[in-house]
Structure 1
Amino acid sequence: MYKAVLVDDENYDLEGLRQLIPWTELGIEVVCSENRSLSAMSYIDQHPVDILVTDIKMPVLTGLELSRKALDKNPNLKTIFISGYQDFEYAKQALNLKADGYLLKPVDDDEIVELLRKVVAEIDDTRKKNNEQSHFTESFAFIKSDFLQHLLEGRINQEALPAFLARYPLDIPTGTAIAVIIELDDVLWKNKLMPDAGQAALRAATTIITEYIDDHKLGPWCKLSSSQFALIYQEEAARLEDALADLNEYVQRNTYFTLTSSYGDLVAFPDQITQSFTQAKELIGNKMFLGKNRIIPPRLAKLQIAKDAKDLNAILDAMFMAVASYDLVKICDGMDDLFDNVRTFEHPVKVYSFSIHIASKLEAYLNTVNETYDSLLGWEFEHLDVIRQFETTEDIKSWLRKTVFEISERLFLKKQSKSRRIIEPIEQYIQAHLAEEITLREIANKFSYSANHMGFLFKEQTGESFNDYLVRNRMEKARNLLQEPTLKIYEVADQVGYKSLAYFSRLFREHYGITPGDYRKQS
C-alpha cells in the first residue's frame, strides 16, 4: 500500500477527498489528512510518504511551499495540486515543481481516481526499477518476501523469473500450489477502542501468525499490509482448510483477534499462481458480504445476489417517519430494507459510501426538525468515519440501527419534555375555569395556537380529545363536590360548567353508570 497525505484548509473538501475516493482499491493508504499545512509538514518530516494531494492556496504555508519542502525531503514524492483558483500563475508554478497533476475544484471523482491510478503506476515502475537495481544489496529475507509479493501480483518479468527462483527458491517441489490470503479481523475498530495497546497487540498477533506458519511449514509467506498476509500452499485444499482453521483457533487462544482467510484454485506453479492469488483477493473482498472469522473458498466466488433493489428514497422517508414517532419496529424494518440494497453491490467501497450516504440523509432530516448529530449525540460529522472501521455489512447495519434507535429515543424525550412544559399551564387554566363555558377555540386563542394544533397537543399529551379531557375533569370535580351535603345537585352542576341539570345528570351517568343523586346517597 502506498502512503498518501491529504491537505486542504476547507474541512468539507478534505472530508470529501477522504470519504469519496476508493483509496484501498487504488492500493493507497491515507496516513494523514490535515486542514493545516504546517501540521501536514510536521507529519511528512517524520514519516515516509509516497503521494501528496494538496490544495494550493492555504494560509501560513501554501500548497506550493509545502510541496517544495516535502520534495526536499523526498525527491520521489508524487504531488497532485487541487485549486479553486483558475489562475495560470498557480498552474505555472505547479508545473515548475514537476507536479504530477493539477485539478480544479470542484474535483471530479473519476478524474482524480484516474490521475491516482496513473501516479500509482508510475510509483510501481520506479520501485520496480529500484528493486532490480538494488536487490543484491538488500537483506535476503526482505527481498525474498518482496519477491514473493511481486510474484503473486504478476509484476515479475517472465524472462527474469527463472533467475529469481534460482536465487530465492520457494520450496514448491510438487509444481502446483494455492494462493492464500490471511487477514486479521477488526483491526481498525479494535485500535480505536484501545488506541494505546492496539499497535502492540497487532505486532504481537503478526508475530504469532508468521511463527505458526513457519513452525507448521505451511509454505512461503509475505506480508501484504499490517493486518494481511499471503501464503503459497502446495497441498490439497481439504488439508488447507483444516490448517487455516487450526491457525485461526491458535490466534484466538493467544490474541484478542480472529482471522478471515480466502484461497484460490490449485494451479500450476509458478506460471498460474497469479491467477490463484487474484481469485483469493476477490474472495477476501467478499468478507464484507459473507462475514468474518471464517474461511472463504473458491466455490463462493460468485455470490448469488438479489437484484431487486428497492426504492431508496421511499424507504428512507418511511424510516424517518418511524424515527419521528419513536416506532422501533418500523425502524428495524426500514434498516433491513435499506441493507437489502447492499446485495446488489459488487465492492465493499460501495457499501461504505452507501452507509455514509444514509448517515448524511439522516442528518439532513434532523436539520428539518432543528436538530443535528451534535445536539442529540454530541458528535461532529467526522464521527461517521467510524463506519469505515467495520468490516462486514452486519457490523455496519447493527451500528447504524443502534444509532438511529438512540436518535429516535432522544427526539421522543425532547418532544415529551417540550410538550409537557406547554400543556401544564393550559391544564392549570382549565382546572381554574371549569365552571365557565370553555371551548377548544377559546383555549387555543388564549395560548396563541391554532385549534387544530391545540387538539393534537391534547391528544398527544393526555391520550384523549379536548372534549373528553374537559368532561372527565368536570365529572371528577363534580364527584368531589357531591360529597358536600350542603350543595344542591344543580349547584354542583353549575360549579362544573353545566347550566342544564338534565344534561349534567346524563353526562354523569354515562361517565360513572349512576345518577348524581344516587351517587350522593352512596357516599
Structure 2
Amino acid sequence: MYRAVVVDDEKYDLEGLRRLIPWAKLGIEVVCSENKPLAALSYMEEYPIDILVTDIKMPVLTGLELSRKAMEKNPDLRTIFISGYQDFEYAKQALHLKADGYVLKPIDDDEIEALLKKVVSDLDDSIKRKQDQTRLDESFAYIKGDFLQHLLEGSLAKEAIPPLMERFKLGHSAGVSRAGIVELDDVMWRSKPESDDRENPLQAAMAFVIRTMEGGAFGPWCSLSATQVAFIHTGDAWELENSLNELNDRVRAATPFTLTSSYGEPMPFPYEISRSFAQAKELIGNKMFIGKNRVISPAHAKLQVARDATDLNAILDEIFAAMAQYDLLKICDCMEELFDNVRSFDHPEKVHSFSIHVASKLEAYLRTAGETFHSLLGWGFEHLDAVRQFETAEDIKSWLRRALFEISERLFFKKQGKNRRLMEPIEQYVQEHLEEELTLRELANRFSYSANHMGLLFKDHMGESFNDYLVRHRMERAKALLLDSRLKVYEIADRVGYKSLAYFSRLFRDQFGITPGDYRKQG
C-alpha cells in the first residue's frame, strides 16, 4: 500500500476526498488527512509518504509551498493539486513544479480516481526500475568481490586473471601492491540491537566501513565475512597506516565498534598478491596476543616470550582464597600472574582452552562451597563456551576478572545481606536519568558490573527486570507530566527517554490501557 496525505482547508471538501475515493481499492492508505497545512507538513517531516493530494489556495501555507517543502525531504513525492477555476496562476506554478495532476473543484470522482491510478502505476514502474537496477548492481558487485577474494587466496588460474581484471577495470598490472584486512572488534558483544526498531549495529557498522573505504585510498576491496573486509593497496606503507588509523578513528566515532587491521609486504600485482594476503591473514590472527584497536604491520613478530610456567594450581588456590575474603586487589594481582603464562602460547586456541580450564576449576571450587555459576550468576555451560568468542587474551582476562569480582561480591552479600545498600545509589541514578537512553549495559558499566550481574541484582532486589522497572517509572513520570497542558505529548515522550512518539504511546497504552491523549482528556 502506498501512503498518502490529503490536505484541504475546507473541512467538507476534505471529508469528501477521504470518504468518496476508493483509496484501498487503488492500493493507497490515507495516513494523514488535515485541514491545517502546517500540521500536514509536520507529519510529512516525521514520516515517509508517497502521495500528496492538496488544495492549492490555503491560508498560512499554500499547497504549492507545502509541496515544495515536502519535496525537499522527499524528492520522489507524487503530488496532485486541487483548486478552484479562478486560480489559474496557481495552476501554472503547479505545472512548473511538475505536478502529477491538477483537478478543478468541484471534484469529479472519476477524474481524480483516474489520476490516482496513473500515479500508482508510475510508482509501481519506478519501484520495479529501481529493483532491477539494484539487482544488476548487486550482481556485478558480488561477482567482482568473488573474483577479488579468489585472487587474494591464489585460487585462480593465471590465464583467467587478465580478462577478469579488464572486465572489472582493475588494469593489467599495478607494479607491486599490498593486501590488507580490516576487522571489527568485539562483534559478539556489541552486535545485538537494543530493540526491534533499530538496525543491527554490526550491519550498520560494516556498511559504514565499506562506505568510508570506498571514499578513501584503499583500492579494490571485497567482503570476507560479516566482520572482515580485504583490500589491495598500491601506495606506500606510511600512507596505508595513516589511512587505516584514520578509518579506525571514524569508525570509533560513528559506531559502537573499533577496528583492528593488518597488511602484508608488497608483492607483484596481480600474480603474487596472494602471498601478501596470506601474511595479512596471519597478522590479523595475532590480534589475540598483540591486542585490538590497532594496525598490525609486518614489523610485528609473533609475541613469544619464553618463561617457566608458574604452578597454576597454586595461583588458583590464591585466587579462591581471595574470593572468599572479598579481596579484590589480591584477585587482580593473581590474575596478572595467571595470564603471564599466556605469553608462551603460540595459537589462539591454546588461550581459549587454558581459559576454559581455569573456569572449570573455578566451578569445581564453588561446588565445594555449595554454590555454582548458575546459583551465583545465572550462568549455564554456554557462558563458559563464550570464552571462544573473545578476540584477545586481554579480553578474556578482563571477562574472567570481572566474573571473579561478581562471584566474590555475591558471596559477600549473601553473608552480609546488604543488597539494599548496594541498590540505593543505582535506583537514585535511574530516577535521575529517566530522560536519557538508559540501557542495562550502560548502567552496569557506570557501577562497574557486567550487564548480566546487574540484571540479576535488579531481579533479586526489585522483583522485576530492569527493563520493566525502567518502563514503569518512565510511564509514571509521563502520567504526572501529562497533567501539564502546556507540554505537547511528543515533548513528554522526549522527557522520559523516548524519541519515537508512536513507541512511547504504545508503551503507555500497554501500561495503563489508555493512550496518552485520552489520559490527558480524562484529567
1:311 is matched with 311
Change (3 A) 1:196 1:184: farther
Instruction: Write the mapping of 1:180-329 to structure 2, written as runs, cut at 5 A.
Output: 180-192=180-192, 194=194, 196=196, 200-329=200-329
Q: CA deviation at 1:252?
A: 2.3
Q: CA deviation at 1:145?
A: 0.5
1:396 is matched with 396
> Residue type of the partner of 2:182?
I
Q: Is the 8 A contact 2:373 2:380 kept in 1?
A: yes
Counterpart-to-counterpart distance in 2, 1:214 and 1:178: 17
Change (3 A) 1:215 1:329: closer
2:343 is matched with 343
Counterpart-to-counterpart distance in 1, 2:363 and 2:239: 50
Counterpart-to-counterpart distance in 2, 1:287 and 1:256: 19
Q: CA deviation at 1:384?
A: 2.7
1:476 is matched with none
Counterpart-to-counterpart distance in 1, 2:178 and 2:214: 17
Counterpart-to-counterpart distance in 1, 2:192 and 2:397: 19
Instruction: Write the mapping of 1:430-509 to structure 2, written as runs, cut at 5 A.
Output: none
Q: Is the 8 A contact 1:191 1:199 kept in 2?
A: no
Counterpart-to-counterpart distance in 2, 1:172 and 1:238: 25
Instruction: Write the mapping of 1:62-73 to structure 2, written as runs, cut at 5 A.
Output: none
Q: Deviations over 1:155-176 (max 9, x none)?
A: 1123433343343342475311
Stretches of structure 2 lacking an aligned partner (at least 5 in a row): 1-135, 418-523
Indicate the SS of the match to 1:180: strand
1:444 is matched with none
Change (3 A) 1:261 1:313: same
Counterpart-to-counterpart distance in 2, 1:203 and 1:407: 35
Q: CA deviation at 1:304?
A: 4.1
1:68 is matched with none
Change (3 A) 1:265 1:197: farther
Q: Is the 8 A contact 1:177 1:234 kept in 2?
A: yes
Q: Is the 8 A contact 1:191 1:197 kept in 2?
A: no
Q: Deviations over 1:448-472 (max 9, x none)?
A: xxxxxxxxxxxxxxxxxxxxxxxxx
Identity of aligned residues (%): 59
Counterpart-to-counterpart distance in 1, 2:253 and 2:172: 30
> Residue type of the partner of 1:337?
E
Counterpart-to-counterpart distance in 1, 2:179 and 2:307: 31
Counterpart-to-counterpart distance in 2, 1:282 and 1:347: 11
> Residue type of the partner of 1:213?
M
Change (3 A) 1:329 1:321: same
Q: Is the 8 A contact 1:189 1:390 kept in 2?
A: no
Counterpart-to-counterpart distance in 1, 2:198 and 2:351: 26
Q: Is the 8 A contact 2:192 2:201 kept in 1?
A: no
Q: Deviations over 1:415-453 (max 9, x none)?
A: 567xxxxxxxxxxxxxxxxxxxxxxxxxxxxxxxxxxxx
Instruction: Write the mapping of 1:13-32 to structure 2, written as runs, cut at 5 A.
Output: none
Change (3 A) 1:352 1:304: closer
Counterpart-to-counterpart distance in 2, 1:167 and 1:146: 13
Change (3 A) 1:165 1:174: closer
Change (3 A) 1:285 1:390: same
Stretches of structure 1 lacking an aligned partner (at least 5 in a row): 1-135, 418-523
Q: Is the 8 A contact 2:193 2:200 kept in 1?
A: no
Q: Deviations over 1:294-343 (max 9, x none)?
A: 11111003324343322222222222222233333332222112111111
Change (3 A) 1:416 1:140: closer
* C-alpha RMSD of matched pairs (Å): 2.6
Q: CA deviation at 1:152?
A: 0.8
1:156 is matched with 156
Indicate the SS of the match to 2:299: helix
In the alignment, is residue 379 of structure 1 matched against residue 345 of structure 2? Answer: no
Counterpart-to-counterpart distance in 1, 2:341 and 2:221: 37
Q: Deviations over 1:472-509 (max 9, x none)?
A: xxxxxxxxxxxxxxxxxxxxxxxxxxxxxxxxxxxxxx
Counterpart-to-counterpart distance in 2, 1:222 and 1:172: 19
Q: Deviations over 1:156-212 (max 9, x none)?
A: 123433343343342475311001100111111112474757863222222222222
Q: How does the TM-score come out when normalised to structure 2?
A: 0.50
Q: CA deviation at 1:226?
A: 0.7
Change (3 A) 1:159 1:373: same
Counterpart-to-counterpart distance in 1, 2:294 and 2:368: 43
Q: How many residues of Structure 1 are paired with residues of Structure 2 in the alignment?
A: 282
Q: Is the 8 A contact 2:312 2:338 kept in 1?
A: yes
Q: Deviations over 1:365-417 (max 9, x none)?
A: 11112211122222222223433333222222112112112212333444567
Q: Deviations over 1:192-241 (max 9, x none)?
A: 47475786322222222222222224200000011110000001101001
In the alignment, is residue 355 of structure 1 matched against residue 355 of structure 2? Answer: yes
Counterpart-to-counterpart distance in 1, 2:205 and 2:170: 24
Larger Rg: 1
Greater shift, 320-329 or 354-363, is seen at 320-329
Counterpart-to-counterpart distance in 1, 2:239 and 2:352: 35
Change (3 A) 1:305 1:258: same
Change (3 A) 1:168 1:342: same
> Residue type of the partner of 2:240?
L
> Residue type of the partner of 1:405?
F
> Residue type of the partner of 1:346?
D
> Residue type of the partner of 1:349?
E
Change (3 A) 1:150 1:195: farther
Q: How does the TM-score come out when normalised to structure 1?
A: 0.50
Counterpart-to-counterpart distance in 1, 2:392 and 2:236: 29
Counterpart-to-counterpart distance in 2, 1:365 and 1:193: 36
Q: CA deviation at 1:352?
A: 2.0
Counterpart-to-counterpart distance in 2, 1:205 and 1:160: 34
1:94 is matched with none
Q: Deviations over 1:75-96 (max 9, x none)?
A: xxxxxxxxxxxxxxxxxxxxxx
Counterpart-to-counterpart distance in 1, 2:398 and 2:198: 23
Change (3 A) 1:275 1:301: farther
Change (3 A) 1:365 1:178: same
Q: Is the 8 A contact 1:282 1:301 kept in 2?
A: no
